[in-house]
Amino acid sequence: MFLTLATDLAGVEAPASDLGFLLHKNPARPQGIEVTGGTAHVFYPEATGERCTAAVLLEIDPIALVRSGRGKAPEGFTLGQYVNDRPYAASSLLAVALGKLFRTAMNGRCDARPELAARPIPLEIHVPALPCPGGAELAARMFGPLGWTVDARPVPLDPQLPAWGDSRYVDLRLTGVLRLADALNHLYVMLPVLDDAKHYWVGPDEVDKLVRAGSGWLGAHPEKDLISRRYLAHRRYLADTALERLAEADGLTEPEAVPDDAEGPVSLAVERRTTVAAVLKELGARRIADLGCGEGALVGELLKDPMVAELFATDVSARALISAKRRLHYDDLPDRQRERLRFLQSSVTYADHRLAGLDAAVLMEVIEHVDPPRLPALAKAVFQAAHPAAVVVTTPNSEYNVRFDTLPAGTFRHPDHRFEWTRDEFTSWATGVADAFGYSVEFRPVGPVDPEVGAPTQLAVFTVREN
């Protein structure tokens, strides 16, 4: 909500207070304008020939922000809408305010001092509360390549509770010799990128504007992938307020969907899919259920096979089914294609008779999302109630985790994983289930097999034992 921009214009034949011309804001007259979510004030704590500091204070109106329901259905309340850092942190809202306050300056125009606008000048920027979930190091990676000297100090979460460590904010000071327009554009793009909050109150059109402001320098930025991915991560299609509410009721926070970075190259996910599809083909399965289909990646793969006559894509999350439908363009499929595919909201811990008697059911990376005490219910629902002729299960091989560079030791590949099994653990579970429900089971590796720790993914094929 607050930042300052200062210069002494050292080495330039002009008084420091000429910054006022560059910003098109008179140092003698504090000014306030209405912006998204509140009022943005510009004033100058100092404006002398030697040094000039412009301050932007964005005062958020938290109630108006909620009641206008920006970015969310007005009824879709969550507690976070009132108690959040918007009134204090330099969020994407501050970026939007900068864009509105300094539009002309950002374009590099200054009729009064054109030569000053065109040349690099010494600048100091201070953002006392910058959300920066990667810490000081990330701030350096973001601003360093743009020519700034970065001084980012972590802000402790609560000085009285030192065990809690640092907050996600840094107290950021940037110094450098840059064109003012560039400096403003850097802030305009980076504030929302670093702001890890869900973009409750920034509409998609504003996000597009932010992307455009990066033209000219974003392409050459070494972190451009990270920057653009963060954009996409924040543009969530469907904010599921219902689930957030239920999590909040327990004093928890619903974890953000995390891209499957931990497993490294995308190829493992692809390999898993193609292996499962190949196993199903080998089984000759024509009526198949993908239990826990998620976004429908496997379903898309299976649809390509004309031998597959009927596909049930189920997930416990209604939101996932909507995404899967959209991803597969379900509503636009020709009738004959659409008839092969049915989306069902279902749960692997409840018996679902709509799924009874199929050729095969797939549990691809599903069991590790179920609490261990609930696994017997999953086994009964799938192997006893649905009782397909074959079941294909994949799950991470925890032994392989040491081979993932980015995965800290002792952590799971996904925050929602309730467990990750070694090969022995998986084998023991799978053979137990097979014996209990009259199946035979065999195991296969998925992905490159490491002589020591095996393949990254383990797969089990269960087939009904002939009586």
Partner 1 sequence: MATLRIPALCLVVLVGASGSGKSTFGRKHFRPTEVMSSDFCRGLVSDEENDQAASKDAFEVLHFIAGKRLAAGRLTVIDATNVQPEARKELVALAREHDVLPVAIVLDPPERVYVERNEQRPDRQFGSKVIARQRSQLKRGLRSLKREGFRTVHVLDTVEEIDAVSIERTRLFNDLTDRTGPFDIVGDIHGCRAELEELLTRLGYAITRDDAGRAIDAVHPDRQAVFVGDLVDRGPDTPGVLRLVMGMVANGHAYCVPGNHEDKLLRALRGRTVTISHGLETTFEQLADEPAEFREAVATFIDGLISHYVFDRGRLVVSHAGLVERMHGRTSGRVRSFCLYGETTGETDEFGLPVRYPWANEYRGRAMVVYGHTPTPEPEWINNTICLDTGCVFGGALTALRYPERELVSVPAAEEYYAPAKPLHMASAPAREPDVLELTDVTGRRVIETATHGRLSIRAEQAGAALEVMSRFAIDPRFLLYLPPTMSPVATSPEPGLLEHPLQAFEAYRAQGVTELVCEEKHMGSRAVILLTLDDDVAEKRFGLAGRGAIHTRTGRSFFEGSLTDELLLRLRTVVAEAGIFDELDTAWLLLDAELLPWSAKAEDLLRNQYAAVAAAARTSLPAATAALESALASGLDVGDHLARLRRRTTNADRFTEAYRRYCWPTAGLDGVRLAPFQVLASEGTTYQDRPHVWHLGIADRLVAADPSLVTPTRRLFVDADNWEAGVGWWQEVTGAGGEGMVVKPAANLTRTAKGLAQPGLKVRGQEYLRLIYGPDYTEPANFARLRDRNLGHKRSLALREYALGLEALDRAARGEPLWRIHECVFAVLALESEPVDPRL
> What's the closest the beta carbon of residue 40 comes to partner 1, in angstroms?
12
> Does the footprint of partner 1 cover residue 80 (CB under 8 A)?
yes
Radius of gyration of the chain (CA): 28
- Closest alpha carbon to 195 in 104, 151, 129: 129
Which residues are registered as beta bridge partners of 39?
34, 59
Round to whole Å and give the CA distance between 322 and 326.
6
Residues comprising the chain, all counted? 467
> Does the footprint of partner 1 cover residue 30 (CB under 8 A)?
yes
From 369, 387, 403, 444, residue interacting with partner 1 (rule: CB under 8 A): 369
User: Vertex 75, ends 72 and 79: CA angle to 5°?
Assistant: 80
Residue 254 CB coordination number (10 Å): 14
> What's the closest the beta carbon of residue 193 comes to partner 1, in angstroms?
18
What x/- string results for residues 409 through 438 when contact with partner 1 is judged by CB under 8 A? -------x----------------------
Q: How far is CA 347 from the centre of its chain?
A: 25
Q: Which is nearer to partner 1, 97 or 370 (CB)?
A: 370
Round to whole Å and give the CA distance between 234 and 196.
8
> What's the closest the beta carbon of residue 28 comes to partner 1, in angstroms?
8
Round to whole Å and give the CA distance between 42 and 327.
45
Using an 8 Å Cβ cutoff, are 202 and 96 in contact?
A: yes
DSSP structure string for 293-338? -TT-HHHHHHHT-TT--EEEEEES-HHHHHHHHHHTTGGGS-HHHH
> Does the footprint of partner 1 cover residue 251 (CB under 8 A)?
yes
Round to whole Å and give the CA distance between 412 and 430.
21
Q: Pick the piece of the chain touching partner 1 (CB under 8 A) from 167-175, 215-223, 283-291, 439-447.
A: 167-175
From 40, 129, 183, 358, residue interacting with partner 1 (rule: CB under 8 A): 129
The alpha-helical segments, DSSP class H, found in 45-134 are 62-67, 92-101, 103-106, 114-118
In the range 265-304, which residues lie near partner 1 by CB under 8 A?
A: none
Q: Pick the piece of the chain touching partner 1 (CB under 8 A) from 44-52, 107-115, 425-433, 441-449.
A: 44-52
Q: Pick the piece of the chain touching partner 1 (CB under 8 A) from 82-90, 203-211, 272-280, 453-461.
A: 82-90
Please list, in sequence order, all residues whose beta carbon lies within 8 angstroms of the beta carbon of residue 353, skipping any fewer than 6 positions away. Answer: 385
> Does the footprint of partner 1 cover residue 155 (CB under 8 A)?
yes
What x/- string results for residues 305 through 344 when contact with partner 1 is judged by CB under 8 A? -----------xxx--------------------------
Give the phi and the psi of residue 43 in degrees, each rounded to 5: -150, 165
State both tokens at 369.
């999302």
> Does the footprint of partner 1 cover residue 69 (CB under 8 A)?
no
> Does the footprint of partner 1 cover residue 161 (CB under 8 A)?
yes
> Does the footprint of partner 1 cover residue 171 (CB under 8 A)?
yes
317: left (phi over 0), alpha (psi -120 to 50) or beta: beta
> Does the footprint of partner 1 cover residue 49 (CB under 8 A)?
no
From 53, 394, 397, 398, residue interacting with partner 1 (rule: CB under 8 A): 53
> Does the footprint of partner 1 cover residue 76 (CB under 8 A)?
yes
What x/- string results for residues 106 through 125 when contact with partner 1 is judged by CB under 8 A? --------------------
Using an 8 Å Cβ cutoff, are 52 and 22 in contact?
A: no
> What's the closest the beta carbon of residue 44 comes to partner 1, in angstroms?
7
Please list, in sequence order, all residues whose beta carbon lies within 8 angstroms of the beta carbon of residue 284, skipping any fewer than 6 positions away. Answer: 307, 359
> Does the footprint of partner 1 cover residue 164 (CB under 8 A)?
yes
In the range 177-236, which residues lie near partner 1 by CB under 8 A?
A: none
> Does the footprint of partner 1 cover residue 57 (CB under 8 A)?
yes
> What's the closest the beta carbon of residue 445 comes to partner 1, in angstroms?
28
Q: Which is nearer to partner 1, 249 or 409 (CB)?
A: 249
First vs last Cα of the chain: how many Å apart?
71
CA distances from 163 to 24, 166, 171 (A): 46, 9, 20
From 111, 162, 163, 304, residue interacting with partner 1 (rule: CB under 8 A): 163
> Does the footprint of partner 1 cover residue 385 (CB under 8 A)?
yes
From 88, 217, 419, 437, residue interacting with partner 1 (rule: CB under 8 A): 88
State both tokens at 24.
């098109």
From 17, 167, 185, 401, residue interacting with partner 1 (rule: CB under 8 A): 167
Q: Which is nearer to partner 1, 127 or 280 (CB)?
A: 127
> Does the footprint of partner 1 cover residue 243 (CB under 8 A)?
yes
> Does the footprint of partner 1 cover residue 128 (CB under 8 A)?
yes
Q: Pick the piece of the chain touching partner 1 (CB under 8 A) from 45-53, 105-113, 173-181, 184-192.
A: 45-53
Say how many residues touch partner 1, by CB under 8 A: 88
- Closest alpha carbon to 24 in 115, 103, 119: 103
> Does the footprint of partner 1 cover residue 97 (CB under 8 A)?
no
> What's the closest the beta carbon of residue 266 comes to partner 1, in angstroms?
26
Q: How far is CA 13 from the centre of its chain?
A: 47
- Closest alpha carbon to 463 in 433, 422, 429, 421: 433
